[in-house]
Amino acid sequence: MANTLSFAVAGGDARQVQLASLLAKDGHKVFAFALDLAELGENVICGDISNLSEKFDCVVLPIPVRSDAEHLNAPLSSHQYCIDDLFSAFQTGQTVIAGKVDNTLFAKAGRSGIRLYDYLEREDFTVMNSIPTAEGAIEVAMRELDTTLNLKKCLVIGFGHIGKLLSHYLRGLGARVCASARKFGDLAWISAYGYDAVETDKIKAVLSEYDIVFNTVPSLILDEEALALLHPGAFVCDLASKPGGVDFNAAKQLGVHTVQALSLPGKCAPLSAAAAMRDTIYNILDEWGN
């Protein structure tokens, strides 16, 4: 991006910290808000949250934008901030980019004349963001298990961006991969790639066959009945966003080894994740004529 712009990077995890540094290295003026517990990079200016009422070329909020129903997701801040108050402070015409934006925020932004965009609506971002998620899932599995993944029977529930890459990586490690999908077209692609295929609604019939189950579907897939079908020693890694796809209370009672692996890009590869965010931001601003 040729022009020098002003960015406000507010809240979030290590991805936002790295993003602020990348934008500053590109020559932009970068202010960091609600990141007071983080070590900020060179040329990143630490700002006060009240200054978000000023007009920036772009305000970048975290993925996900909320920590709960009321607050900005800001784990690296010593304070909590009401997200509705934050949006009320933005000027008309302010460009805001965030992740996992709900309809309430879109409506609020529309009423206030704020240009709000969600990373997760863009294919360029979701594909690149799936890479650290898939690699992170493998890291989690290898950390939690006392064996390699080679020759392990792995079930990947869901064949979206993450499911596709995860299946590919697992195959590369020598795992025996089965993937599930609801659409017949996706099931055809699963078979074409050489994986075993199963309809997601019918996974209970095959669950007992697998050593490792990775869930990517953000709805309750592995309920108590399904978890009870797993063989002793099976491991479940839930990659779906909250509330996830696993009944963790039932898993605990049944003694099923489970991990809820949330926000893996920010934990496993924040710099790579931040680079994907930066590139997507530039693409959005170029499309909008900034």
Q: Domain-by-domain residue ranges, the chain?
A: 6-121, 130-267
Q: For residue 290, what pLDDT is reported?
A: 60
- Stretch 161-187: mean pLDDT: 97
Q: For residue 177, what pLDDT is reported?
A: 98
Label residue 2 by pLDDT band (50, 70, 90).
low
Q: For residue 230, what pLDDT is reported?
A: 97
Kindly tell me if the per-residue pLDDT of 1 is higher than 60: no
Average pLDDT, the chain: 94
Q: For residue 3, what pLDDT is reported?
A: 82
Query: Are the C-beta atoms of 59 and 32 separated by less than 8 Å?
Result: no
The highest-level CATH class for domain 6-121 is alpha beta
- Stretch 251-257: mean pLDDT: 96
Task: Provide the percentage of residues in the chain whose pLDDT is more than 70.
Answer: 99
pTM over 0.95: no
Kindly tell me if the per-residue pLDDT of 237 is higher than 70: yes
Query: Are the C-beta atoms of 161 and 134 separated by less than 8 Å?
Result: no
d(CA 47, CA 189): 49
- Stretch 189-206: mean pLDDT: 97
What are residue 40's DSSP bridge partners? none
- Stretch 118-135: mean pLDDT: 95
Give the dihedral of Cα atoms 240, 244, 249, 255; nearest 10 deg: -20
Give the tens place of pLDDT for each residue, 19-77. 999 999 999 999 999 999 999 988 999 988 888 889 999 999 999 999 999 999 999 99
The highest-level CATH class for domain 130-267 is alpha beta
Highest mean pLDDT, choosing among 2-11, 174-183, 240-249? 174-183
- Angle at the Cα of 22 from the Cα atoms of 21 and 28, rounded to 5 degrees: 90
Residue 246 CB partners (closer than 8 Å, separation 6+): 215, 220, 221, 222, 227, 236, 238, 258, 260
Label residue 11 by pLDDT band (50, 70, 90).
very high
Q: For residue 232, what pLDDT is reported?
A: 92
- Stretch 107-123: mean pLDDT: 94
Q: For residue 47, what pLDDT is reported?
A: 86
Q: Do domains 6-121 and 130-267 have the same CATH topology?
A: yes
